[in-house]
Amino acid sequence: MTKKGDRVVLIGSGAVGASYAFALLNRGLVKELVIIDKNTDKAKGDALDLNHGLPFVSPITIWDGDYSDCKDADIVVITAGASQGPGETRLDLLGKNSKIFRGIVEDVMTSGFNGIFLIATNPVDALTYATWKFSGLPAERVIGSGTILDTARLRFLLGQRLNVDTRNVHAYIIGEHGDTELPVWSHANIGGLRIPEYLATHQDITIEPAEFDQIFANVRDAAYQIIKLKGATYYGIALGLAKLTKSILRDERSILTVSARPQGEYDLEDIYIGLPAVVGRSGIKEILYIDLNEEEKKQLHHSASVLRKANQSIML
């Protein structure tokens, strides 16, 4: 079929994938959405269901497709694979999901795809690295969702506790999207005011230093809590993926904590890890350098060492 405009191919129409498809539709972000899932009934059912909403949104063509549709895709988004069960860590999924990825990435590349990969399946940093290796595409065109969700969770919790719009909270979670991630407290600010300055001018808010540690623990462990409550997390990441898609297709140059491949930044290389980066039409345009304090640097390097081990186990 002749291409009508920006095309996204979604691979994996489970809880995360279907929520992302719905978010794309609501925002009128693309002209073509192709859904692929190994469960072909699920892909067909989702395409039909979403098509029935077309009278209420901007024009878009949606179909359940196959890998040949990737040839003309601007972005291929992968949310396929196993998800965490109760008590399971993200890294526990590596064995199963890296095998799935080898097949998927090979099929996408065989189509002649030459766009941008966006990866959300866990463990996301290791699978983004694997996608880069398997695809042979330039590193800036292989992007993982990294710690975008963790950063969003931190901004939400801080905004709630400090009684301010979460969009005016500027604070990052970086490192592995997983148990070794870390908050960058040294540069966290509310509308330009460092947190201590903000608190000094808002004496109605009393907050003990230990409460910040608890806020971070709640961010880090949020997935475990949600999985215990309802089996999976999907709306938050789906909106994050939609934002990433918009930033790419509209060349917004948004700064997002994606899984990116540093080339010496933060003394890191040959790894994908969550770092603030400028995202636009050509993919990752730049990794932003933040002057971390010594403790933050140590924690980031610890996180990187855990990811390096995971990467080695995939490539064996």
Interface residues with ligand NAD (CB under 6 A) are 11-17, 37-39, 42, 79-84, 93, 100, 103-104, 120-122, 124, 145, 149, 177, 232-234, 237
Q: How far apart are CA 70 and CA 93, in angstroms?
A: 26
Name which of 74 and 150 has its Cβ closer to ligand NAD.
Answer: 150
Q: Supply the minimum distance, in Å, between the C-beta of residue 78 and ligand NAD.
A: 9
Smallest distance, ligand NAD to C-beta of residue 13, A: 5
Say if strands 189-190 and 169-170 run parallel, antiparallel, or are unpaired: antiparallel
- Provide, rounded to whole angstroms, the least separation between the CB of residue 59 and ligand NAD: 27
Based on CB atoms, which residue is closest to ligand NAD, 8 or 16?
16
Q: Which is nearer to ligand NAD, 121 or 311 (CB)?
A: 121
156-163 LR contacts (CB < 8 Å, sep 24+): 157/215, 157/218, 157/219, 158/188, 158/190, 158/215, 161/205, 161/207, 161/211, 161/215, 162/190, 162/195, 162/198, 162/202, 162/205, 162/207, 163/202, 163/205
Beta-carbon contacts of 228 under 8 Å, excluding residues fewer than 6 positions away, are 86
Find the shortest distance in angstroms from Cβ 241 to ligand NAD: 8
Nearer to ligand NAD, 66 or 193 (CB): 66
At closest approach, how far in Å is the CB of 273 from ligand NAD?
13
Residue 122 or 311: which CB sits closer to ligand NAD? 122
Question: What residues are annotated to the active site?
Answer: 177
